[in-house]
Amino acid sequence: MVTIQNLHFAYKKKMVFNGLSLSLQPGFIYGLLGKNGTGKSTLLRNIAGLLFPRQGSIKVFNAIPGKRNPSFLQQVFMVPEEFFLPDISIEKFVKCNAPFYPGFNRGQFDGYLKEFAIPMDHSLQQMSYGQTKKVLIAFGLACNTSLLLMDEPTNGLDILSKSQFRKIIAGATDENKCIIICTHQVKDLENLIDRVCIIDDGKILFDQPMAHITSKLQFKISFDGNETKNALYSEAALQGDAIIAPNIDGEEGRMDLEMLYKAIVLNGGGIRSVFDKQ
């Protein structure tokens, strides 16, 4: 669905991507992680056709996003971190925007709004940031686009709303839809993401499905100094050490996405070597 090959992109002289390649398939929720300024939002905007590669290619549904053809735009919805909605009521917003998305489902939209407890009678500008974000998320999901891009979707959402968001996203996925979520709030989306992509230094540092990660790595608390010493990654916990070690037993356990991210960034070679072994 999304094929990125040898992507080079820069803002004037500041190089962001230096030969990034990535392939994203429908039916998955991708978590895109990375340090501040590594280009997560930039990658989303390249995929959405808002930015153009300097070199390399991006194909989404076999179309070039940069051409921004209506047939492409109808199948892509982006929920940016900083978003704009006009100062009109929700009803008018739906009336003037929904006809442009052939897959829009009014019943789904109303259901999501009810789930998020959004009042229908306020204008969009009268709502709080969190409320308007929920309206935008609800609308984006109800458009039923094949590709949904979300940049920090849980920013500004209260604790209850984050839980509602997870529930709604989990229910919205199907085999034809691809959802890409950029986030720093890994704890919010740990149980939702199917595949983890970590960007660093203009390239993909790590790209694996969650199931594969838990089959290859073990996340646990260790009180054994030797075990900690030989771990792929370790950090002090309240009691003992939280470590990541190769999953020798083959038993799938819990996953700590935040710790995995730190491990990839600090000991990427060690972690990747586990996956390189067959």
Residues that bind another protein (CB under 8 A): 45, 48-52, 67-71, 73-74, 76, 78, 80, 82-88, 92, 95-97, 99-101
Q: What are phi and psi of 25, to 5 degrees?
A: -110, 155
Q: Is 96 or 266 the residue whose CB approaches another protein more closely? A: 96
Q: Find the shortest distance in angstroms from Cβ 67 to another protein.
A: 8
Q: Please report how close the Cβ of residue 246 comes to another protein at its closest, in angstroms.
A: 42
Q: Which is nearer to another protein, 79 or 263 (CB)?
A: 79
Shortest spacing between CB 11 and another protein, in angstroms: 10
CB of 80 to another protein, least distance (A): 5
Comparison of 77 and 219: residue with beta carbon closer to another protein: 77
Q: Which is nearer to another protein, 46 or 234 (CB)?
A: 46
Amino acid identity for residue 86 in this structure: P
Q: Give the residue with the Cβ less far from another protein, 178 or 210.
A: 178
**The residue to which tokens 């009678």 are assigned:** 121
CB of 93 to another protein, least distance (A): 8
Q: Is 115 helix (H, G, I), strand (E, B) or coil?
A: helix
CA distance 63 to 58: 8
Nearest approach, Cβ of residue 135 and another protein (Å): 13
Q: For helices 106-116 and 129-142, what crossing angle results, to 10°? A: 150
Question: What residue type is 257 in one-letter code?
Answer: L
β-pair partners for 220: 243
Q: Which is nearer to another protein, 96 or 117 (CB)?
A: 96
CB of 9 to another protein, least distance (A): 10
Angstrom distance (rounded) from CA 66 to CA 52: 6
The secondary structure of 229-246 as a DSSP string is HHSSEEEE-SSSEEEEEE
**Which residue bears the tokens 């992109």?**
9
Nearer of residues 101 and 206 to another protein, judged by Cβ: 101
Q: Which is nearer to another protein, 15 or 50 (CB)?
A: 50
**In angstroms, rounded to a whole number, what is the distance separating the alpha carbons of residues 3 and 22?**
6
What b/e string do you get for 206-222 counting C-beta neighbours within 10 Å, with b at 16 or more?
bbbebeebbebbbbbeb
For the CB of residue 165, give the shortest distance to another protein in the complex, in Å: 20
Question: How many CA atoms does the CB half-sphere of 240 hold within 13 Å?
Answer: 12
Residue 89 DSSP code: B
Q: Are 46 and 24 in contact (CB under 8 A)?
A: no
Q: Which helix (H) or strand (E) holds 195?
A: strand 195-200
- For residue 192, give the nearest of 206, 179, 201 by alpha carbon: 179
